[in-house]
Structure 1
Amino acid sequence: MATTATKSQDDERAEKSVRASGGIGRTRSRGGQRHGGRRWLMSLAGAVVALFFLAPYLVMLIGSFKRHSEILRIPATYLPTEWVPSNYASMWSTPETPLAYNLVSTIIISACGTLLVLVVAMPAAYYTAKHRFPGRLAFLLLVLVTQMLQPTVLAAGLFRQFLAIGIDDTWLAMILVNGAFNLSFAVWIMHSFFAGVPKEIDEAAMIDGASKLQTLRRVTLPVVWPGIVTAIIFTFVACWNEFAASLVILTTAENQPLTVAITKFVGQYDSAWQYVFGVSIVGIVPVIILFALVEKRLVAGLTAGAIK
């Protein structure tokens, strides 16, 4: 009898255990369904927000394949009644606007301006982050204050200065302008990354016989590389999109960047909107390619310090 009672108790315990495990499984399944539903809603919300921000670019892309008369038609058409890819060929062959030269000018000015900022900002950020010297905070504050000055305010004065020294209407003038007005941002970005590298790492490298330059190149730079990439990307995009100073300083059509060239298609009484849209798309594509190539580094740089 005792053996029978013991077996029945064991059976009851086993049955309760099975029921409990079944309940836990159902709970986990319901929890997984809830989390899956939330993820689906978040993805849907993200897609709606992305579509909202991408809508102007879609309008430009579609408009670049429309005829001029169709763009002005009321009510407007969402898709072209006739796709006109020849708009892009006509756009490049416009005699008043040498877009091939304008694209080359934009690339050279942006690349050289970014290189100038990198060469000057990196040692400045490294030294201010790793050394304490009289006037250090005042220097950093001065660098920050210069960020408040915009080329629009100083364009006329800069043109007079460049005219006096004989470099007006040249790429060199715009490279110097872009370098000067983007330097402070790059210094602050890289300063924060250099300051985040423990001093003990540099000291350990120097104890092993490395010079300061070797320590910077082989030890510090690999650690702060995401921050450097972040500064490069933001500087390059700022140089690429610069308009006001280029409009004043560069007067020759071949030397002007795309941001100025696009205004040639906008007239007082009529505007070639199909060309405006086409040039806008051409100006966007290189930046998109650049972002796609360095997206991981850029995200790492922007989120650095968020997680310890």
Structure 2
Amino acid sequence: MNNHTRGTKHVILRVLLYLFVILVVLVTLYPYFVMFTTAAKSRAEIYSTDGTLLPIHWLWQNFKDIWTLAPLSRYFINSLIVAGGSTLIAIICGIPAAYALARMKFKGKKIFLGIVIISQMFAPVVLLVGIYKIMSTFGMTDSLVGLVFINAAFNQAFAIWLLRGTFISISPEMEQAATVDGCGKVSALIRILLPVAAPGIVTALIFVFINAWNEYTVALTLISTDVLKPLTVGITIFNGYNMVEWQYLFASSLFATVPVIILFVLIEKHLVGGLTSGGVKG
């Protein structure tokens, strides 16, 4: 009887869990569903007082028109350059810094780690005036290179923190064994630690890439030339002074999510392991 009662409770709890997960998924995906249906409507239907959730007439042409009404391909390339470049810099600089914090002992180590963590408290918008002045001094106010460096700098602290936890979770005995075989510290890092730390590196990579891809405020402030705008800023061309072209704005926004989704699907299997190792206490 007790086993039967426990089994019933287990089934009920599992059903409730599934219902909760389904509810969360529906709430999460609903905005994207609205974006998709709105992107397939006409302007008149969107602004109609008798509007419906689903389009009366599906205008698939909207998804094609956005590529001729705005230089979206150029915006896509700019965003890929900024996100890819800043991710590359953050990972290349973050790996040796994280390794030093995880393995080496030096004066000011705890202070440096504290500064790294505290720097996460400052959003780019808080430092916008200072960022503009610095970029203006170096002649990078209307340059993709400037955006690459800014995004890399603001994502560097998170990459270091996550990668440090990853290196701490790896046994030092692996390095010692590599040293016995004749490897130096750099050689052991490249040949032994980096392959083992791949989940953490991939996790840091995807977080930095997504943050750089979605960045808007700094790009809006620094970039004035239309052909240099990233996608997040460029699609605001459909936001006019008198009217917002919601069908084009939502259609281009849906396309903007595609690279992030593809990247996430490709490396999703490494994500959980990377987050777990990044949370190791040191």
Q: Measure, in 2, the Cα distance between the counterparts of 1:257 and 1:241.
A: 9
* Highest RCO, 1 vs 2 (Cα 8 Å, sep ≥ 6): 2
Q: Contact 2:238–2:244 at 8 Å: present in 1 too?
A: yes
- Aligned match of 2:61 in 86, 92, 97? 86
SS of structure 2 residue aligned to 1:74: coil
Give distance in 2, aligned partners of 1:38 and 1:162.
56
Select which of 113, 131, 142 maps to 1:169: 142
**1:77 aligned to which of 46, 52, 55:** 52
Root-mean-square deviation (Å): 2.0
Q: For 1:70-219, what aligned pairs fall within 5 Å after superposition?
A: 70-94=45-69, 97-219=70-192
In structure 2, what is the equivalent of residue 277 of structure 1?
250
Which position in structure 2 is the counterpart of 1:297?
Answer: 270
* Aligned counterpart for 1:51 among listed residues 26, 46, 62: 26
- TM-superposed CA distance for 1:70, in Å, is 1.0
Q: Cα 1:101–1:305, aligned 2, differ >3 Å: closer, same or farther? A: closer
| Aligned equivalents of 1:27, 1:154: Cα separation in 2 | 62
- Return the match for 1:220 from 193, 196, 202: 193
2:39 matched to which residue of 1? Answer: 64
Whether the 8 Å contact between 1:155 and 1:249 is mirrored in structure 2 is: no
Q: Secondary structure at the match of 2:200?
A: helix
Shift in Å, 1:29: 7.3
Q: In structure 1, what residue type is equivalent to 2:273? A: A
TM-score, normalised with respect to structure 2: 0.93
Q: Is the 8 A contact 1:156 1:248 kept in 2?
A: no
Gaps of 5+ in 2: none
Residues 89 and 305 of structure 1: is their aligned pair in 2 closer, same or farther, counting only changes over 3 Å? Answer: closer
Change (3 A) 1:75 1:262: same
In structure 2, how many angstroms separate the alpha carbons of the residues matched to 1:270 and 1:142?
46
Separation of aligned partners in 1, 2:31 and 2:73: 25
Q: In 1, Cα distance between the equivalents of 2:177 and 2:184?
A: 11
Helix, strand or coil for the counterpart of 2:197? helix
Per-residue deviation at 1:36? 4.0
1:4 match:
none
Q: CA deviation at 1:223?
A: 2.2
Using the alignment, how far apart are the partners of 1:145 and 1:63 within structure 2? 41
> Structure 1, residues 180-231: CA drift from partner, whole Å, max 9, x if none?
1110011001111112222222112101211212211222122221111111
Query: Deviations for 1:90-138, whole angstroms, at most 9, x for unmatched residues?
Result: 11111xx321111110011100100000010110000111011001111
Instruction: Say whether the 8 Å CA contact 2:200–2:278 is kept in structure 1.
Output: no
8 Å CA contact 2:163, 2:278 repeated in 1:
no
Q: 1:193 to 1:295 in 2, by over 3 A?
A: same
- More deviation, 228-237/145-154: 145-154
Say if 2:37 and 2:54, in contact at 8 Å, map to a contact too. Answer: yes
Aligned counterpart, 2:207: 234
Measured in 2, the distance between the counterparts of 1:166 and 1:101 equals: 22
Q: What secondary structure is seen at the aligned counterpart in 2 of 1:40?
A: helix
**Matches of 1:182 and 1:245, distance apart in 2:** 14
- Could you tell me which amino acid in structure 2 is paired with residue 56 of structure 1? P
8 Å CA contact 1:151–1:245 kept in 2: the answer is: yes
- Matched-pair identity in %: 38
CA distance in 2: counterparts of 1:193 and 1:253, whole angstroms: 41
